[in-house]
Amino acid sequence: MEERAKMMFGEILDDVRKYHPLIHNITNYVTVNDCANILLACGGSPIMSDDIDEVEEITSICGGLNINIGTLNQRTIPAMFASGKKANELGHPVVLDPVGAGASALRTDTAVQLMQQVKFSVIRGNSSEIKTLAMGSGSTKGVDANVNDVITEDNLEKAIGFAKAFAEKSHAIIAITGVIDIVADAEKAYCIYNGHPMMSRITGTGCQLSALTAAFITACPENILEAAAAAVCTMGVCGEMAYKRMGKVDGNATYRNYIIDAVCNIDSNTLEKMARFKIK
Amino acid sequence: MEERAKMMFGEILDDVRKYHPLIHNITNYVTVNDCANILLACGGSPIMSDDIDEVEEITSICGGLNINIGTLNQRTIPAMFASGKKANELGHPVVLDPVGAGASALRTDTAVQLMQQVKFSVIRGNSSEIKTLAMGSGSTKGVDANVNDVITEDNLEKAIGFAKAFAEKSHAIIAITGVIDIVADAEKAYCIYNGHPMMSRITGTGCQLSALTAAFITACPENILEAAAAAVCTMGVCGEMAYKRMGKVDGNATYRNYIIDAVCNIDSNTLEKMARFKIK
Amino acid sequence: MEERAKMMFGEILDDVRKYHPLIHNITNYVTVNDCANILLACGGSPIMSDDIDEVEEITSICGGLNINIGTLNQRTIPAMFASGKKANELGHPVVLDPVGAGASALRTDTAVQLMQQVKFSVIRGNSSEIKTLAMGSGSTKGVDANVNDVITEDNLEKAIGFAKAFAEKSHAIIAITGVIDIVADAEKAYCIYNGHPMMSRITGTGCQLSALTAAFITACPENILEAAAAAVCTMGVCGEMAYKRMGKVDGNATYRNYIIDAVCNIDSNTLEKMARFKIK
């Protein structure tokens, strides 16, 4: 089953390169440039726009929408709702990245209300953020996961159960990323082992992955679970490829560039060979 | 005529390095860091400021102004008008980059109204954006040009005619960038063949070029057509120099850095040697 | 005395790596990504948030606060005051980076009022910005220091006197950075000779240093003068290490990455060996 999925991941990557999905991003100003460049790297095309007076129009000319609540504010929050609803109307795939949900009431409430008013195709966050959404409240160490929430082999079965249950409840694919990534719908979970610990030393690998996920699911809307898992796998494999390039004096700035470079260069064969996951 | 222009381009670059033009940028948050770094790379100095309560003062202490409407919003739009008018009052050169004009009514209308209320020295965009401004309406594939609007050898003469006519009507130098770049006033057009297709795989090469153009025309206000053409040529040449440095595993993130590095290192001799253009 | 301080700087760096200080940044959108990455590079953790509805909460979950007034605006200014006061209430260290104070009344007034209403642990800026704050008014060439304000061996004693007097008056550590950096409280000044002129060709080395300083003083709150001096020294040493890596075709974009890489890799031994300063 995993072998067949690997081939599918390769085909999905090829589709992204073929269809050049145009993605509307309402995202934070911290990592926005990297999100744009990773979308271009994978074969997609980005447009960033967050003003209430244009977001519905921008959503309409795009194929997919990526809503990221990092550096959310009173001006951009209404734009998130308006574009999310417009995307739903048009049947466009929508990704939610609940950056820092649990770190403030504003973030938690905004994410929870977005989930109530917008149908998301995929919700991608770290374990603390996703736990916060599932509970409707929570606590997050800034934008990183709490140590207690880290997914390991020991609590993997439980985490899979949680992801599937939350996917069922939210009618969205749930992507929890960390040391082990889980991408699940109500019935099936991909447990992905790709990636490198150094990725957590760069700001915005999560934001970049959400943008990438939006491109993948927009290119393959008929198969959103696999497309989301393929995006997570691609990011992890590229993190590994980039780490192999690192010289002794390279640090997180160079690593950031190498990951985006890897996304730019990876082909479906490499993705198929390097992908490591189990289906549960 | 081209040989003389090449020497002039070299002299203009030397002037930028000599006069260190200070440029006020009201620009989008996607590519703002690259705009600042390319201004420093060319020998200029950037300041970014977009609040209505300070933009006129900031414009006043600078030599030139660069208005870029990417991620425009209700807060920054009035600041664009205020600083543009102040720059006109002071006789400072002003660049307009109509990012995504045609992609939303807000962008189209803002750009059109800016053109009505502010005198721009140079308007730089892709062919779809410039066409939208010339028509007062249009459609743009996000922030990239529509395939139908691409300038090739086949439609070059027509595009030159369009650029000259729009330059005459708008009283601005028109810079249309793409596979072939056209920089024109009402009577004379530079058709520039520098650049590399890979540049479209990076976010913000257009934004960076607009910032660069502001620096070039501020350093050489007596010769704005040539200064704008020199900026476009420099960006293209640097795109070629950067591409030559690319290794097998390098991608768009590294390429982005290499282009700015090339702007940092290029000298007037190299620019003169590598510049490829016709004057029509 | 200098030898003992060098060892202390090394210990402070080790503490940053050990305690992973979480820093709340209200900062400009130009250099925000580099600020986040340098915080991760040094061993800290960043969170960026500037909305009035969440900044107090975000400040509360962090260990320290970094307020940078670059691209300040009507929306973010109240957030700066609110988070500064909350940090004071909680006894968290707070850094002020008065970017462009002197370039507009809005920047000067905001910085001056912040100093009246918030107790800052460290104020870090270039000589023109700090002079502006000390006078309550001033003029700055955009975001760079005026030539007249540059600190050299010739005016060093006077500059030290000024820094100590302003430190006494403001009850803050004053960090004036430039060719020679001065980090002073009312009685003691570190005159730091590390760094490289090329650092001024990158946007945001100052902003990055302020973020770094916030991490260092948050990790070592009992010794803020030395922690701030250690941060300034680390940035300078990393600027030197990065410059040594530069190849012939590298420019400011690559240099930017190399500096952050150096912060990622520097160890306390290297810092101790390469630190160059006098205590006065």
Q: Where do runs of H (alpha helix) occur along chain B?
A: 2-19, 32-42, 55-61, 77-90, 105-117, 127-135, 156-170, 205-219, 224-245, 252-265, 268-274
Interface test with A, best of C45, C50, C53 (most A CBs within 10 A): C53
User: What SS3 state is found at A24?
Assistant: strand
What is the spatial distance between Cα A44 and Cα A35, in angstroms, rounded to a whole number? 11
Q: How far are the Cα atoms of A59, A87, B53, B71, B266 from residue A24, in angstroms, in the given order?
A: 6, 10, 31, 12, 36
- Determine how many CB atoms are found less than 10 A away from the CB of residue A267: 11
| Residue A138 near residue A126 (C-beta atoms within 8 A) | no
Tens-place pLDDT, residues C31-57:
999 999 999 999 999 999 999 999 999
pLDDT at C67: 98
Task: Please identify which residue in the block is written with the tokens 């350093």.
Answer: B219
Query: Are A33 and B202 a contacting pair at CB < 8 A?
Result: no
What are C255-273's pLDDT values in tens digits? 999 999 999 999 999 999 9
Three-class secondary structure of residue A68 per DSSP: strand
Q: What is the mean pLDDT of residues B187-195?
A: 98
pLDDT tens per residue across span C224-267: 999 999 999 999 999 999 999 999 999 999 999 999 999 999 99
* Contact by Cβ (8 Å): A184, A160: yes
B45 and C70 within 8 Å at the Cβ level: the answer is no
Contacts of C34 in chain B (CB under 8 A): 33
* pLDDT score of C146 more than 90: no
What is the rounded CA–CA span in Å between residue A50 and residue B204?
Answer: 18
Residue A144: the pLDDT is 74
CB A49 within 8 A of CB B104: yes
Identify residue B157 by its one-letter amino acid code: E
What pLDDT is attached to residue A140? 62
Quote the Cα angle for B32-B38-B43, to 5°. 135
A196 Cβ partners below 8 Å, 6+ apart? A236, A239, A240, A242, A243
d(CA A55, nearest CA chain C) in Å = 20
In this predicted structure, the answer to whether residue B137 has a pLDDT above a threshold of 90 is no
Q: Does C78 touch chain B (CB under 8 A)?
A: no
In tens digits, what is the pLDDT along chain A, a chain of 280 residues?
A: 889 999 999 999 999 999 999 999 999 999 999 999 999 999 999 999 999 999 999 999 999 999 999 999 999 999 999 999 999 999 999 999 999 999 999 999 999 999 999 999 999 999 999 999 999 866 665 667 777 788 999 999 999 999 999 999 999 999 999 999 999 999 999 999 999 999 999 999 999 999 999 999 999 999 999 999 999 999 999 999 999 999 999 999 999 999 999 999 999 999 999 999 999 9
C138: pLDDT strictly greater than 70: no
Nearest residue to C95 (alpha-carbon basis) of C78, C117, C119: C119
Q: What pLDDT score does A221 carry?
A: 97
> Which residues of B are less than 8 Å from A265 in CB distance?
249, 251
Residue C165 has what pLDDT?
97
Cα nearest neighbour of A48 on chain B = B71
Please answer whether residues C34 and C235 qualify as being in contact, where contact means their C-beta atoms are separated by less than 8 angstroms: no
The separation between CA C29 and the C-alpha centre of its own chain, rounded to angstroms, equals 17
CA angle C39–C45–C51, rounded 5-degree value? 100
Tell me if residue B173 falls in helix, strand or coil.
strand
Q: Which helix (H) or strand (E) holds A205?
A: helix A205-219
Tokens of A78: 């209404």
Contact list in A for residue C77 (CB cut-off 8 A) is none
- Give me the interface pTM, i.e. the ipTM: 0.96
* pLDDT of res. A114: 98
Give the three-class secondary structure for A279.
strand
What are A142's two structure tokens? 């800034």
Tens of pLDDT, residue by residue over C9-26, are 999 999 999 999 999 999
Least Cα separation, residue C94 to chain B (angstroms): 24
Q: In what order do the strands lie in the sheet with A181-184?
A: A45-48, A22-26, A64-68, A94-97, A122-125, A173-176, A181-184, A189-192, A277-279
Residue A155, C-beta contacts closer than 8 angstroms, at least 6 positions apart: none
Give the whole-angstrom CA distance, residue A45 versus residue A261: 16
Q: Indicate the length of chain B as a whole number.
A: 280
Summarised one tens digit per residue, pLDDT across range B47-101 is: 999 999 999 999 999 999 999 999 999 999 999 999 999 999 999 999 999 999 9
Q: Which of residues 203-262 of C touch B (CB under 8 A)?
A: 203-204, 249-254, 256-257
Which residues are within 8 A (CB) of A274 and not within 5 positions of it... i.e. 6 or more apart? A194, A237, A240, A241
Reduced DSSP (H G I as helix, E B as strand, rest coil) percent helix, strand, coil of chain A, to 5: 55, 15, 30
For residue B276, what are its two tokens?
A: 């490829």
What local confidence, expressed as pLDDT, does residue C142 receive? 66
Per-residue confidence (pLDDT) for residue B98, from 0 to 100: 98
With CB atoms and an 8 Å threshold, state whether C48 touches A71: yes
Among candidates A28, A75, A144 on the partner chain, residue whose Cβ is nearest the Cβ of C45: A144
**What is the reported pLDDT for B200?**
96
C157/A contact by beta carbon, under 8 A: no
Task: Tell me how crowded residue B269 is: count the other CB atoms within 10 A of its CB.
Answer: 10
CA of A142: which chain C residue's CA is closest?
Answer: C47
* C-beta atoms of B141 and A48 within 8 A: no
Which of A22, A51, A263 lies at the smallest CB-CB distance from B72? A51
State how far the Cα of C237 lies from the Cα of C234, in Å rounded to an integer. 5
Both tokens assigned to A72? 């959310």
Per DSSP, the residues of chain C read -HHHHHHHHHHHHHHHHHH--EEEEE--SSSHHHHHHHHHHHT-EEEE---TTTHHHHHHHSSEEEEE-TT--TTTHHHHHHHHHHHHHHT--EEEE-TTBTTBHHHHHHHHHHHHHS--SEEEE-HHHHHHHHHT----BTTB--GGG---TTTHHHHHHHHHHHHHHHTSEEEE-SSSEEEE-SS-EEEE----GGGGGSTTHHHHHHHHHHHHHHH-GGGHHHHHHHHHHHHHHHHHHHHHH--TT--HHHHHHHHHHHHHH--HHHHHHH--EEE-
What is the pLDDT, as a whole number, of residue A139? 62
C144 phi/psi in degrees, rounded to 5: -110, 160
Q: Is A52 helix (H, G, I), strand (E, B) or coil?
A: coil
pLDDT cut 70: percent of chain B above it: 98
What SS3 class is residue B181?
Answer: strand
Beta bridge partners of A173: A122
Average model confidence (pLDDT) for chain B? Answer: 96
Is the per-residue pLDDT at B141 higher than 70?
no
Taking only the tens place, the pLDDT of each residue in B199-234 is 999 999 999 999 999 999 999 999 999 999 999 999
The pLDDT, as a whole number, for residue B136 is 82
Q: Is A161 helix (H, G, I), strand (E, B) or coil?
A: helix
